[in-house]
């Protein structure tokens, strides 16, 4: 098990952690009723913090930020000598957590995406993990929530008896949600993005060799070029360039950032 704290990657603090370390920390927080903001960041997610100081502040106040993408893992190994043997990928982290939640009888809540997605997701997970307690599930409203709506959402999740909330809203909305709701919910809020669509059976994950080669971004780009071309061409090129500058000590990125000016109340 590895859980060795955070390293500065392009100004964003990423944990040097493996699956066992991440699952252990999340489950401990769930059992103790502690608020915890968790996300799994690929290169695009890191770049959202690089380009936005306020969002960098949020990310750098997360309790756990795992190296979701192979590019992030490789960069952590290059810059910090982390010797990470594997990434900590949101969809697999979701499954590893569900197995432990089933074994220990810890109820979970699922929030985000569309109604058909969350319904299929919870159905599939209960089939895969018999005995998994799904305390509740609801879709996103795809807009900012007003204070009353936010309070009702918090009340629904807490009243469900859930001890952990999985969030699938896409980057960076899900990170904003986890940051803002962590303390109100007093439980781990785990942003896992594409895990909702994958485990609902609505999208197919790329083959393992594609994932291991760090080409998952390319597989997604081929499927959705109109939506993703800017993300994966511009951001990936910038990511590689900045990692090289940091690794060669030509650039010393600052992990500080302006404090967010109020909440965005995503839902």
Q: What are the pLDDT digits (tens) for 147-197?
A: 899 999 999 999 999 999 999 998 899 999 999 999 999 999 999 988 999
pLDDT of amino acid 237: 87
Contact 64, 36 (CB under 8 A): yes
Give the lowest-confidence range in 29-43, 54-68, 231-245, 252-266: 252-266
| Interval 97-111 mean pLDDT | 98
- What single-letter DSSP state applies at residue 33? T
Pick from 185, 155, 154, 164: which is nearest to 106 by CA? 164
**Over 70: is that where the pLDDT of 212 sits?**
no
| Interval 115-144 mean pLDDT | 95
Separation of alpha carbons 196 and 118, rounded Å: 7
pLDDT bucket at 145, cuts 50 / 70 / 90: confident
pLDDT of amino acid 58: 95
Single pTM value for the model: 0.90
Helix intervals (H) in the chain: 19-32, 43-51, 53-59, 70-80, 90-104, 115-128, 147-159, 173-185, 195-200, 208-212, 216-223, 225-230, 236-247
**Over 90: is that where the pLDDT of 142 sits?**
no
| Interval 80-106 mean pLDDT | 96
Range 3-200 classified under CATH 3.40.50: yes
For the chain, the average pLDDT equals 89
Pick from 172, 168, 111: which is nearest to 139 by CA? 111
Sole residue written with tokens 């936010």: 150
pLDDT of amino acid 211: 55
With a pLDDT cut of 90, the percent of the chain lying above it is 76
| Interval 59-74 mean pLDDT | 95
pLDDT of amino acid 202: 76
Q: Is 169 exposed, middle or buried (0-12, 13-18, 19+ CB in 10 A)?
A: buried
pLDDT of amino acid 255: 92
**Over 60: is that where the pLDDT of 119 sits?**
yes
What is the residue extent of each domain of the chain? 3-200
Contact 55, 175 (CB under 8 A): yes
Q: Which residue has the higher pLDDT, 204 or 185?
A: 185
């Amino acid at each position: 098990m590895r859980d060795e704290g955070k390293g500065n990657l392009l100004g964003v603090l990423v944990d040097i952690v493996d699956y066992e370390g991440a699952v252990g920390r999340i489950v401990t927080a769930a059992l103790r009723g502690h608020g915890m903001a968790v996300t799994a960041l690929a290169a695009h997610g890191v770049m959202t913090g690089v380009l936005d100081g306020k969002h960098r502040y949020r990310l750098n106040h997360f309790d756990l930020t795992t190296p979701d993408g192979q590019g992030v893992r490789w960069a952590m190994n290059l810059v910090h000598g982390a010797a990470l043997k594997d990434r900590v990928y949101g969809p697999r982290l979701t499954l590893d957590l569900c197995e432990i939640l089933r074994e220990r009888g810890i109820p979970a809540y699922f929030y985000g995406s569309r109604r058909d997605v969350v319904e299929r997701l919870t159905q599939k997970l209960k089939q895969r993990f018999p005995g998994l307690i799904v305390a509740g599930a609801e879709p996103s409203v795809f807009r900012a929530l007003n204070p009353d709506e936010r309070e009702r959402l918090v009340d629904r999740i807490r009243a469900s008896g859930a001890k952990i909330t999985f969030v699938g809203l896409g980057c960076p909305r899900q990170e904003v949600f986890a940051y803002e709701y962590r303390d109100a919910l007093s439980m781990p809020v785990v942003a896992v993005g594409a895990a909702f669509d994958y485990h609902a059976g609505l999208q197919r994950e790329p083959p393992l060799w594609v994932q291991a080669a760090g080409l998952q971004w390319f597989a997604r780009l081929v499927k959705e070029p109109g939506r993703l071309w800017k993300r994966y061409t511009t951001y990936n090129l910038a990511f590689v360039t900045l990692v090289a500058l940091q690794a060669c000590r030509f650039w010393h990125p600052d992990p500080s950032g302006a404090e967010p000016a109020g909440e965005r109340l995503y839902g």
